[in-house]
Amino acid sequence: MNPEKVITRIAPSPTGQMHIGTVRTALFNYIFAKQNKGTYFVRIEDTDRERNKEEWVDAIWNDFEWCGLKPDAKYRQSEHIERHKELLQKLVAEDKAYISREPKKDDPTEEVEVVRLRNPNTTITFTDLIRGEVSFDTTEHGDFVIARSIDDPLYHFAVVVDDGDSCVTHVLRAEEHISNTPRQILILEALGYTRPTYAHFPLILAPDRTKLSKRKHAASVEQYRTQGFLPEAMINYLALLGWNPGGEREIFSLDELIKLFSFERMHKAGAVFDIEKFRWFNHEYLKLLPMQEFVDRLSLFMTERGDTVPPYLPQIGVELRNRAQTFGEAADYLKGGEFSFMEDTIPAPTGELLLQGAKADAAAVKTNLTKVVELLLEHEPFTAESVKEAIFPYATEQGRASVLWPMRVALSGKEKSPDPFTLAGLLGRKKTLERIEKALRML
């Protein structure tokens, strides 16, 4: 194989939100082309005039851009309609196809003209890069329809013409298309095109092992984008659905996938989409982001979602990233008030709340909080770790509940919140001391 001649394509239809299975197919086409210094392009299959919508065309371009799978070229199938008509007429003129007048499907009293390919009724055999040798007896297809009329080619015909004219060398697609292959080979042979190499990837399955469906399951790119998943996490996870790089490692960049991919390690059986595993992948990628990039990307996500970005976001970035597996979760934590203790003003805790879990009377708690202030007054540096080093021995000596419970409540104003050391590290010395002293006045 001459790597200079490798040409792959992905051909989605603009009939709805893009399925993550389409992204995975695009990914493998992209990887294989780049691995062989070839060309990868996107062709919008817009032959279904009734179901196509312009908004879905725009969504396809946007989704691929978001995923980072930038094509070397892109176009729409409808741009080639004159070429399709030209070759339909050529096949009819050569008697390789013919016009047939037939009853209309939804109204048998009317007749329509369709174009049928003359089937040589032969056995088609091809080598699939994943499944090995595959054979079909084409007799069962009869003389099949390739156009609704001489001006209206069907998918099977249009896709073969476009692949042939674009010199596509490898048709890499989902296994559901394997049954289309014999018809398409018959068409390309009638047209005189060179047969491409085929590979059919295993389907992505739902947990119940049915086909992952946009109708029944969360399966569109848009759904995961709006939940705050990262494109790099999606690409990494989808690559491992049906392909095994070997070894225990799971985190791979796109460049690493290009170097490692091989058809020999593709599975034939369907791969189950596990949302919890996907969430794990996403969390791993969040943790890999430099903190400023995490804050910037989360801020953009929240702004686009219509949420208010709190000014203290940079201060709680590490804590937020440790807790949230997606940007959506992070935004919900902020919106739900879990980090409202970072506000400049918080509701003052009641004396009852300060004592609730302290396992000590007001006098003991007051003594303990006074000692905490004393320990922190000149303490350097002021981080969660250093505050713990300063306070924990005293808390262990006096009873942790009677020291740490009121300290945490004083800093957060809440019954439930992060531990007091984390709170102090996030709030800083000034706010920490001010809030503890305010709590002392409540006792």
Active site residues: 214
Q: Which amino acid, 36?
A: N
Is residue 57 classed exposed, middle or buried when 0-12, 13-18 and 19+ CB atoms within 10 A define those classes?
Answer: middle
Q: Of 63, 1, 3, 60, which is closest to residue 33 (Cα–Cα)?
A: 3
Q: Which residues have a Cβ under 8 Å from the Cβ of 19 and sit 6 or more positions away? A: 212, 214, 219, 220, 221
Distance CA 3, CA 34 (A): 9
User: Which whole-number Å values give the CA distances from 348 to 280, 304, 316, 423, 439, in the listed order?
Assistant: 37, 34, 21, 16, 7
Is residue 396 classed exposed, middle or buried when 0-12, 13-18 and 19+ CB atoms within 10 A define those classes?
Answer: exposed
Distance CA 6, CA 68 (A): 20
Total H helices, total E strands in the chain: 17, 13
Which tokens sit at 164? 């042939």
Which tokens sit at 214? 């946009």
Q: Which residues have a Cβ under 8 Å from the Cβ of 276 and sit 6 or more positions away? A: none
211 bridge partner residues: 205
The torsion angles phi and psi of 166, rounded to 5 degrees, stand at: -85, 0
CB-CB contact of 57 with 44 (8 Å):
yes
Q: What is the 3-state secondary structure (H, E, C) of 275-334?
A: HHHHHHHHHHHHHHCCHHHHHHHHHHHHHHHCCCCCCCHHHHHHHHHHHCCCHHHHHHHH
Distance CA 149, CA 113 (A): 6
Q: Of 200, 271, 198, which is closest to residue 241 (Cα–Cα)?
A: 271
